[in-house]
Amino acid sequence: MDFSVSIESLGGGAIVKGPAGTPADSSGGIGFDPGKDEIVFGREPASDVVFAPEDRIVSRKHFRLYRQPSGHYAIEVFGNRYVALNGTPASSGEHVSDGDILQLGSKDGPKLKLRLKEVADAGGMDRTLTQAKVVRSGVQFKQLRRVVGSLAIVVLVAGVGGYFYLDQQAGRLDALATLQEAIGKKVSADFSSELVARMKDSAYAVVLVGKDGSRTLLGTAWPVGEGMVATNAHVAAQYDPRGTRKLLVIHPGNTIVHTVTAAWIHPGYAALKDFRSKESRADPDFKAAFEGLPQPSGFDVAVLDVDNADKLGAPLELASPEEIAALGPGAKLAYVGYPVEGTTGQRTAADNPEPLAKFGYASSITDFFLFNTDPARAYLIRHSIPATGGASGSPIFNEQGHVVAILSGGTVFDTGGARQPSAVLENFAQRADLLNARLDPGVTFNVEDAVAYWHDTVLPRFGRHRQQIVADAAAALEDAAPGQKAVETLHLKSSLGDRDAVAAGPVLYREHEISVEPGKHYSIVAYGELGRPLSIRLFRGDEAVGFAGTGTSFATVEFVGEANETLTVRVLGEKNDPVDYELFVMVAENANTAEQTN
């Protein structure tokens, strides 16, 4: 099958030309014949969908739609350009559908409606069968927002203190219980009773003994090597090497008790937490993406060394790389562990642990930011297996009894003291081969490489708006100085909330000095926080230069230097709303000079 494509303009910037330079119709729309291989959007006249030169929020080549073998279209974003698909930042490779809304550059940029009409191809072949629906991560976030209404969502850490309190409003208690029971019965039929019994015998309770002798069941562990058990990092973090409190690993039925003598926590666990914390403070786009929404733990795996190694059960077998690679949505999974918190077994579990088996399906495999990614980094397994406090660290195994993942948490509502499960029944687990960083001497985890990847590859998927504004300013600079390249001469982070800010009536401002040369083209961008006012003014000493920029979220100024001199850039905002901002200064240099500078 093929599709005819038409694009309707919904405002924010008009389409001026369509196929072969034909003008847009009276409603601002254009159409394309069926079977067109690609449709390029941009200000460049050679594009298929051309915007006016003054619409500089649109890049010269912004993105394209390309036809796949099935006839359906997918999106490819050029560089770090910003394209929203139904209100969510788009990623290259995402499919588009009839009625999708596209927006370029920012929330105020050109908005387009995509219409796809199915047309039989010339060969008369039957249409491709409907494929499994892929839900984009951003759309999943929005679905979660709709589910919870005004309630906050948190990620349950299924160890200390975590418990799914079922929502009894509007009959959801019965509905969720019935659904989970039906899923469990269906999946459990494919796991033999002998396999489940063997797995239960390998599920150890992790118990914390306080200074007063009190005992608290923290989570679940299982043998992974000689004198070693695997669990979650957030469970292992309770180990105190000073011996102020003891951590015990107890065999089912309390028949054998081991004392933890050492704990290894995956180095990515702390690195990812630090990265998220730092970038949430520094990057408003990144913070906004997760604010009020679940952010599952990452690299949440650990290995505990225990005494009495000869009495520890046989290690469970980790799934092979081929089994893990084959893991996908719909895979049948089970775990054994101690999901006891909030149940009648909570008070006795630490003294008489009896493991339970739970069953469900894998729903998707993503990275720790809930994005689809290459298999080498898709370490987060999302699943429907019910989980409660005490189940942290439980081994999740396939029908062959091989451990594919480690249970680590779930999505719940925080209702002010009581935690309730999300209607999406989505919980989280860490891929089991993360343990190889401890078990296999040939496997190492490079923290610096991981942080560089998150910064260079992951962050742009959140912060495209800021990057797009700066990229467009650079492109405009290069347009104004043909044959030259935009070179960044200054990039700093600052805040109008700092002590150095100057108050002038209802305004706050900070000043930064820049050196300019005669005849050179310059661009200045001040990028603040989304939706907040920001302005730029230039001064020569105390004299205001005639260059000013004012906007919401960001402001830009372009000018040509008049002399070898130092100018003062003044960034202004409202006194009652001091904003953090980033300041970028760029100059157009000839290509050879720019290459030497870089």
Given a contact cutoff of 8 angstroms between Cβ atoms, the answer to whether 471 and 525 are in contact is: no
Residue whose entry in the numeric block shows the structure tokens 């000018």 = 559
Q: In 444-565, which residue ranges form alpha helices assigned H by DSSP? A: 447-453, 464-480
Q: How confident is the model at residue 292 (pLDDT cuts 50, 70, 90)?
A: low
| C-alpha–C-alpha distance, residues 579 and 568, integer Å | 19
| C-alpha–C-alpha distance, residues 409 and 162, integer Å | 9
Residues 6+ apart with CB under 8 A from 504: none
pLDDT at 145 over 80: no
Which one has a higher pLDDT value, 10 or 370?
10
Most distant CA pair in the chain: distance in Å? Answer: 85
pLDDT at 344 over 90: no
pLDDT digits (tens, 9 = 90+) for 535-575: 899 999 888 887 777 777 788 888 999 999 999 999 999 88
Q: How confident is the model at residue 364 (pLDDT cuts 50, 70, 90)?
A: confident
Residue 254 per-residue DSSP state: G
Q: What is the DSSP string of 24-50?
A: P-TTS-EEE-TT-SEEEEESSTTSSEE
The three-state secondary structure class of 473 is helix
Distance linking the first and last C-alpha atoms of the chain: 48
Residue whose entry in the numeric block shows the structure tokens 């199915």 = 118
pLDDT digits (tens, 9 = 90+) for 165-198: 333 333 444 555 555 666 677 788 889 989 999 9
Which one has a higher pLDDT value, 86 or 161?
86
Residues 6+ apart with CB under 8 A from 295: 155, 276
pLDDT score at 157: 56
Give the number of other Cβ atoms within 10 Å of residue 137's Cβ.
18
Angular region, 87: left φ>0, alpha ψ -120 to 50, beta rest? left
Given a contact cutoff of 8 angstroms between Cβ atoms, the answer to whether 437 and 57 are in contact is: no
Which one has a higher pLDDT value, 211 or 128?
211
Residue 543 per-residue DSSP state: E
Q: How confident is the model at residue 435 (pLDDT cuts 50, 70, 90)?
A: very high
Q: How confident is the model at residue 484 (pLDDT cuts 50, 70, 90)?
A: very high
| In the chain, where the domains are located | 2-131, 153-460, 464-597
Q: In 411-522, which residue ranges form alpha helices assigned H by DSSP? A: 436-439, 447-453, 464-480
Residues above pLDDT 90, as percent of the chain = 39
| C-alpha–C-alpha distance, residues 24 and 31, integer Å | 9
pLDDT score at 243: 79
Q: Which one, of 449, 571, 452, 590, lies nearest residue 514 by Cα?
A: 571
Phi, psi angles (nearest 5°) of residue 386: -65, 140
pLDDT score at 463: 61
Q: In 38-136, which residue ranges form alpha helices assigned H by DSSP? A: none
Give the number of other Cβ atoms within 10 Å of residue 20's Cβ.
6
pLDDT at 164 over 60: no
CA 390-391-395 angle, to 5 degrees, is 145
Q: Which one, of 43, 50, 55, lies nearest residue 20 by Cα?
A: 50
pLDDT score at 464: 66
| C-alpha–C-alpha distance, residues 229 and 312, integer Å | 9
Which one has a higher pLDDT value, 533 or 223?
223
pLDDT score at 323: 92
Q: Is domain 2-131 annotated with CATH 2.60.200.20?
A: yes
Residue 454 per-residue DSSP state: I
pLDDT at 154 over 50: no
pLDDT score at 321: 92
Mean pLDDT of 415-435: 70
Taking the CA atoms of residue 442, residue 409, residue 156 and residue 85 in that order, the dihedral angle to the nearest 10 degrees is 90
Instruction: Evaluate the CA torsion angle 234, 239, 245, 250 in order and state its sign.
Output: positive
Cα-trace Rg, the chain: 29
pLDDT score at 289: 65
Q: Which one, of 399, 396, 345, lies nearest residue 203 by Cα?
A: 396
Least-confidence region, from 157-161, 357-361, 450-454: 157-161
The three-state secondary structure class of 340 is coil
pLDDT at 246 over 50: yes
464-597 CATH = 2.60.120.380
Taking the CA atoms of residue 275, residue 278, residue 281 and residue 285 in that order, the dihedral angle to the nearest 10 degrees is -30
| C-alpha–C-alpha distance, residues 201 and 191, integer Å | 15
pLDDT score at 138: 34
The Cβ-side half-sphere exposure at 222, using a 13 Å CA radius, reads: 30
Q: Is 343 exposed, middle or buried (0-12, 13-18, 19+ CB in 10 A)?
A: middle
Residues 6+ apart with CB under 8 A from 181: none
pLDDT digits (tens, 9 = 90+) for 304-332: 999 999 999 999 999 999 999 888 878 89
pLDDT at 232 over 90: yes
What integer best gives the mean pLDDT of the chain? 80
Residues above pLDDT 70, as percent of the chain = 80
pLDDT digits (tens, 9 = 90+) for 199-227: 999 999 999 988 888 888 899 999 999 99
Residues linked to residue 590 through DSSP beta bridges, in sequence order = 484
Which one has a higher pLDDT value, 504 or 272?
272
Mean pLDDT of 250-268: 91
We find that the CATH architecture of domain 153-460 is Beta Barrel (2.40)
| C-alpha–C-alpha distance, residues 252 and 358, integer Å | 16
Burial code (b: 16+ CB inside 10 Å, e: under 16) for 44-55 equals eeebbbbbeeeb
